[in-house]
Amino acid sequence: MATRIYGVSQGEEQAAYVTEGVGSAVSADTVELTVDLADGMTKAEVIRAVERILEHITKNQWAPA
């Protein structure tokens, strides 16, 4: 499967610090998002999915069990 991985580490506040790679997640950053390109999602669909994740994190208790 083709994947694209985006990551950022704690304390890195600028978009320039976001890492981008291919393959499987390696936990190099504090937060990583893996997108499976084989599903054929558009850029807009990926953004909507990230927004749903953001909404979930915002509305639910932190830290998750």
**Which residues, listed in sequence order, are joined to residue 34 by a DSSP beta bridge?**
5
62/19 Cα distance (integer angstroms): 25
Cβ count within 10 A of residue 34: 14
SS3 content of the chain, % helix, strand, coil (to 5): 35, 25, 40
Q: What is the pLDDT of residues 29-65, one digit of tens each?
A: 888 899 988 888 899 999 999 999 999 999 998 887 7
Domain boundaries, the chain: 3-59
pTM: 0.77
Q: Which two tokens stand for residue 8?
A: 């950022």
Q: Single out the residue of 30, 34, 35, 33 nearest to residue 13, CA to CA.
A: 30
Q: How confident is the model at residue 25 (pLDDT cuts 50, 70, 90)?
A: low
